[in-house]
Chains A and B, each alone.
Chain A
């Protein structure tokens, strides 16, 4: 077997397993856990477009989740517009906002940029928490917005609500696969090359014809649009959003941490990160938060520090080497490591 066919079979197996899982695991709890896992993997992958490829450190990305969630919810509650359309509107709005803040902030040094994104998301959260109404839009301040559930047992595609977990599972799975594919195509495209070159050596990249600032802004807008879609999904899953759920630094940090631990800038990194860290945080939250509150965040922080000290580029590199060795065994090839 050649390395290519090994990889392809592996991928196919993975996809098939993912598609078949709901048929095997009938428990809604497990499905819910998987759904959240995919959702975080999705959001971390979109974060990676900016944090990994563009080489900067956005620590306020949850603002786009919030924009997506609030836009589709407000449009549904006040004007009955289907959340699918609301999703797209939210995405465009997020992209627009990203353009506005991206242009000035992406010129800044790394630490300044991180601070600016943090200030932005905190500022937005403070405003949303304290206004009940912004023009014609009812935001309901800290009480958040409730989406009235459909009568039990009923589902509606148009209303983006379903009676069981399965449809949600498949939707987020497809979203995740879509975004992974997009990232893969991007990494092989002119924009992808320009972005990582600009992130690594901006001066050299500029001398080679790359308008680094413009590429970074493009990446940010794209990322914002995609992240906002996740916001809508989250809103429709939980049927209740409030500022501290979608506009927090906590969420921004969690996305950044997962991507960093998994390996920013790589394709599999965010997914590896999510796969490893979400179960840790979920289970420690479920089982330990009564006796040891906040333990899951401590674990996340400690893991982050340890990984950053020993593998600053994330865990995807050593894991890729392991994978290559496995591949060599099976295909009897000799894949060197990077020379």
Chain B
């Protein structure tokens, strides 16, 4: 993927299997957000293709992607701040139904599974950051996605909140949703991912199970520098 003269991603090849949690990590500036946004339909890759569920979705519009079962969250959360929590989730639920009462039922369901239902009438702009992130996921879940793209959801959370969020991820995965997650908080992503892909300077430098990747020389070099490649 090229931005003018800058090649942000150079021949990156990823694949996710259904029901998996795939994590994408790498030092800052590696190109993770770019990769994410290409998949999410924000950028049209200057070369290469993206396939989802057997269909070529390269360059598709965000709302069409949502209809196809691909949902995403935003790194800087974007709640509909002047509206209630329930309203927020209902907007997502409307992706699957045209009826208001059905949407409300779906929304209440999701809120309950993510333990936000007691705050359903709160103005979303007044929520804590942890709750807002939870709301962001709830909203995306209401669209009944097959694949959920999560963009640095843990950023800005306290350790207890991170633990709570890990539980949320597990709930989501157990409901049958495939997850593609970008993250910086190592313990979260190590604990959750079935597989990891590590990129640096727009290229893949390692992939595999978390334990294997953690020991990979290239990965250690990328994050910590040459001196740390111990025996």
Contact = CB atoms under 8 A, between A and B. Distances in A.
Query: Do A and B come together as binding partners?
Result: yes
Interface of A: 188-190, 193-194, 196-197, 200-201, 203-212, 338-339
Nearest to A188: B100
Interface string B73-94: 0100011111100010011101
Nearest to B40: A207
Given A197-B83, A339-B121, 18 more contacts: A188-B100, A190-B98, A196-B83, A197-B80, A200-B80, A200-B81, A203-B74, A204-B74, A204-B80, A204-B139, A205-B91, A206-B61, A207-B66, A209-B66, A209-B94, A209-B143, A210-B63, A338-B123
B134 interface: no
Given A200-B81, A204-B80, A208-B139, A339 B122 contact: yes
B103 interface: yes
A266 to B, nearest CB: 11
B121 A194 contact: no
A182 B126 CA distance: 31
Given A193-B91, A197-B91, A339-B123, A206 B80 contact: no
A206 B40 CA distance: 11
Contacts, number: 80
Given A193-B94, A194-B94, A208 B66 contact: yes
Given A200-B83, A204-B80, A206-B61, A193 B123 contact: no
B210 interface: no
B71 interface: yes
A201 B80 contact: yes
Nearest to A192: B100
Contacts of B72: 207
Given A196-B80, A204-B78, A209 B95 contact: yes
B63 A339 contact: no
A208 B78 contact: no
27 contacts: A188-B100, A190-B97, A190-B99, A193-B91, A193-B100, A197-B83, A200-B81, A200-B82, A201-B78, A203-B62, A203-B78, A204-B78, A204-B80, A204-B139, A205-B80, A207-B63, A207-B71, A208-B63, A208-B66, A208-B92, A208-B94, A208-B143, A209-B63, A209-B94, A209-B95, A210-B63, A212-B63
A210 B67 CA distance: 9
A183 to B, nearest CB: 15
Given A207-B71, A207-B74, A190 B94 contact: yes
Give the 10 A-B residue pairs with the shortest CB-CB distance, closest first: A209-B95, A209-B66, A204-B78, A206-B62, A197-B91, A201-B78, A208-B92, A190-B94, A211-B63, A200-B80
B81 to A, nearest CB: 7
B140 interface: yes
A198 to B, nearest CB: 9
Nearest to A337: B123
Interface core residue of A205, A206, A207 (most chain B CB under 10 Å)? A207
A205 B79 CA distance: 10
B146 to A, nearest CB: 14
Contact of A190 (B81, B87, B100): B100
Contacts of B143: 208-209
A58 to B, nearest CB: 21
A224 B71 CA distance: 34
Interface core residue of B78, B79, B94, B126 (most chain A CB under 10 Å)? B94
A188 B100 CA distance: 7
Interface string B124-165: 001000000000000110110000000000000000000000
A207 B79 CA distance: 12
Contact of B62 (A190, A200, A207): A207
Given A193-B87, A204-B78, A209 B126 contact: no
A209 B67 contact: yes
B228 to A, nearest CB: 39
Interface string B171-207: 0000000000000000000000000000000000000
B186 to A, nearest CB: 27
Contacts of A211: 61, 63
B92 A209 contact: yes
A331 to B, nearest CB: 19
B124 to A, nearest CB: 10
